[in-house]
Amino acid sequence: DAGVTQSPTHLIKTRGQQVTLRCSPKSGHDTVSWYQQALGQGPQFIFQYYEEEERQRGNFPDRFSGHQFPNYSSELNVNALLLGDSALYLCASSRGLLPNEQFFGPGTRLTVL
């Protein structure tokens, strides 16, 4: 079992650009949550996808959007990148909506210049 996989591992973009990050959940999991982790801070919840719909959203602007595919994999899109979007983006998967025993991927390190 490969666990949660994310791609790419690192990414460098410039301000104003758009980025897409990808996540494949652990086998048997149907729910994907995305988190942003700034340096020295705990992860902050962005949103959760279940049955291809956004079920809950944290305090993030509309520039952050996502998608879940029928195979449960997910994408996180960020438009009009700002310097402050530089962070580690983590994907977590679980069975069902409740975040019991979430499995996290290694993250994608995004640097915005």
Partner 1 sequence: DAKTTQPNSMESNEEEPVHLPCNHSTISGTDYIHWYRQLPSQGPEYVIHGLTSNVNNRMASLAIAEDRKSSTLILHRATLRDAAVYYCIPYSGAGSYQLTFGKGTKLSVIP
Provide the minimum distance between the beta carbon of 28 and partner 1 in the complex, in angstroms, as a whole number: 15
Q: Given the complex with partner 1, which of 52 and 101 has the nearer CB atom?
A: 101
Q: Given the complex with partner 1, which of 66 and 107 has the nearer CB atom?
A: 107
Q: Contact, 19 vs 77, CB < 8 A? A: yes
Provide the minimum distance between the beta carbon of 68 and partner 1 in the complex, in angstroms, as a whole number: 14
Q: Given the complex with partner 1, which of 86 and 103 has the nearer CB atom?
A: 103
Instruction: Point out which residues bind partner 1 (CB under 8 A).
Output: 4, 33, 35, 40-45, 48, 50, 55-56, 58, 90, 92, 97-107
* C-alpha 63 chain-centroid distance: 13
Provide the minimum distance between the beta carbon of 15 and partner 1 in the complex, in angstroms, as a whole number: 26
